[in-house]
Chains A and B, each alone.
Chain A
Amino acid sequence: MPFMKGRAPIRRTLNYLNAGKLVLKDKIKIFSVAYNIIGQNNNGAKEFVFWYLPQIQYKNPNVQVATFKNLTPTPFIKCYLEDGKQILVDIDNKTKEDILEHLLHTVGKSKEVLEAETIAAEKKDNPANFGVGCERACMCEIYGQVPCPGVVVLPKVMRGKYKNQDN
């Protein structure tokens, strides 16, 4: 898809997708939205799908996001959990902001959990980290870095024995 084509191409920009607030809880596996395109009471649901669904899918790549268009008398969101249970959210006659706010409080992860997870992910993901529990135990494993002095002796210019000689 070309960048500036279609309706509201901002929805496809990385900044917009990353700005999504809703990160679903781990136990939610399927997120489905049913709505109609006609009717004043469906406007919120329709706009929610148009504006926020890309963000939700981007932020939750392991969740199946489905939409059911024109198959329901009133709009609703249904989440299927990993233990077979379901949670139904009625979104009749609500604005898209209200819906998102409610979802954040019910099926979304709280801010503290998200922060903790980002810290944990950073530790694991950042290739610059080294030490216990990281990808590499020592910085010297990278090509071009100074080898550990235990393995290869440092050049004399770096060794105090030669650098700090008085005479």
Chain B
Amino acid sequence: MISHKFVLNRACPILIQCAQAHRKPRWFPVAKSKIYRIPKRPQLSEEERLEILRITNNYKTQMRAVRKFYTDDMVKEKSTLESATSEMSQRLEAEEWQRCEELNEKWNKQIATEREERRKKELSEMEDFALARMEAIDREKRERVEKASEQIKREKELSETFISREKLEEAIDYALANPVDYNYAIDLKGNMHTGRDTPIQYENKERVQVSSN
């Protein structure tokens, strides 16, 4: 920067006006003499604070009102413009929608009737199924009763041969009088040889003797 003195001392003084701000550039650090300086907070009196608050609020309210006025104005203008151009299309759209709704109602009604029919069919099917199941259960019960009664009959018939307390002595006597020997043997031809006292008849006696020795 050219100093003021230099300008005055020139042979042909010219006026130079510098457009740049007279301060140090942004990238310069804090000056050494100011490095630990803490600026004092501005002290506002209570009255002054209230006054500033009032003024600020007034300003904000007025600005908001102005902004809103212009916004509303714009919206109104836009809507009138739109309605003028698209009133026809809107009516067309409404008609179209009406048509769609009618179509939908028709479809819904058709489905409702179909569903009623289906429900009736399903109900009758369910009834048939329930009836068939009940019949099957009845049949099974009947069969079980029959089976049981048959078994009882059989058991009754058998019970005549059972040995009761009264018949015990008699049965013992009978058993002692008629001993049964189950100790028998069957040869290859299927003949039964009863009794444990039956003598064994060998074909070759010598062989037996040799084997016994």
Binding site for B on A (CB under 8 A): 25, 27, 41, 74, 87-94, 102, 105-107, 110
By Cβ-Cβ distance, the 4 closest A-B pairs, closest first, are: A90-B111, A106-B100, A90-B108, A106-B104
**B115 CB–A CB distance under 8 Å:** yes
| Given A105-B100, A106-B103, A107-B100: A90 in contact with B112 (beta carbons within 8 A) | yes
Q: Determine the chain A residues whose CB is within 8 A of the CB of B114 once the complex forms.
A: 92-93
Contact mask for chain B residues 86-117; partner A; CB cutoff 8 A; 1 contact, 0 none: 00000000001100110110011001101100
Could you jot down 8 A-B contacts, CB within 8 Å?
A90-B112, A91-B111, A93-B115, A102-B104, A102-B107, A105-B103, A106-B104, A110-B96
Whether A92 pairs with B115 at a CB distance below 8 angstroms is yes
Q: Is A89 within 8 A of B118, CB to CB?
A: no
Q: Report the interface size class on chain B.
A: 10 to 19
Q: Is the CB of B115 within 8 A of A89?
A: no
Q: A27-B97, A90-B111 are in contact. List 19 more A-B contacts (CB 8 A).
A: A74-B115, A87-B104, A89-B107, A89-B108, A90-B107, A90-B108, A91-B111, A92-B111, A92-B114, A92-B115, A93-B114, A93-B115, A93-B118, A102-B103, A105-B100, A105-B103, A106-B103, A106-B104, A110-B96
Docked CA distance A10–B204 (Å)? 96
Please name the residue on chain B nearest to A81 by beta carbon.
B97
What residues of A have a CB within 8 angstroms of the CB of B112 in the complex?
90
Q: How far is the CB of A152 from chain B (nearest CB, A)?
A: 28
* Complex CA distance for A88 and B108, rounded to whole angstroms: 8
Contacts of B107 in A (CB 8 A): 89-90, 102, 106
- Select from chain B the residue with minimum beta-carbon distance to A98: B107
CA distance A102 to B100 in the complex (A): 10
Cβ–Cβ contact B111 & A87, under 8 A: no
> How many angstroms between the C-alpha atoms of A91 and B111 in the bound complex?
8
Q: Which residues of B contact A87 (CB under 8 A)?
A: 101, 104
Known contacts A41-B118, A105-B100, A106-B103; A94/B108 CB under 8 A? no
Q: How far is the CB of A9 from chain B (nearest CB, A)?
A: 33
Output the least CB separation between B26 and chain A (Å): 29
B112: nearest chain-A partner, CB-CB:
A90
Question: Within the assembled complex, what's the spacing in Å between the Cα atoms of A105 and B100?
Answer: 7
Complex Cα distance, B112 from A87, in Å, reads 16
A92–B117 Cα gap in the complex (Å)? 12
| Chain B residues closer than 8 Å to A27, beta-carbon distance | 97
- Bound together, the chains give a CA A74 to CA B100 distance in angstroms of 22
Which B residues, 162 to 194, have Cβ-Cβ distances below 8 Å to chain A? none
Chain A, Cβ-Cβ closest to B109: A90
Shortest distance in angstroms between B195's beta carbon and chain A's nearest beta carbon?
A: 78
Distance of A8 from chain B, by nearest CB (Å)? 27
CA distance A25 to B96 in the complex (A): 11
Question: Could you tell me the distance between the alpha carbons of A13 and B103 in the complex, rounded to whole angstroms?
Answer: 33
User: Which B residues are CB-close (under 8 A) to A105?
Assistant: 100, 103
Nearest CB on B from A52, distance (A): 17
> How far apart are the CA atoms of A26 and B142 in the complex, in Å?
69
Name the residue on B nearest A103 (C-beta): B104
Complex-state Cα separation, A106 to B108, whole angstroms: 12
- For the complex, give the distance between the alpha carbons of A57 and B47 in Å: 61
Assembly CA distance A92 to B107 (angstroms): 11
Instruction: Let me know if A94 and B111 touch, CB within 8 A.
Output: yes
Nearest-CB residue, chain B, relative to A107: B100
Contacts of A88 in B (CB 8 A): 104, 108
**Bound-state Cα–Cα, A15 to B187, Å:** 91
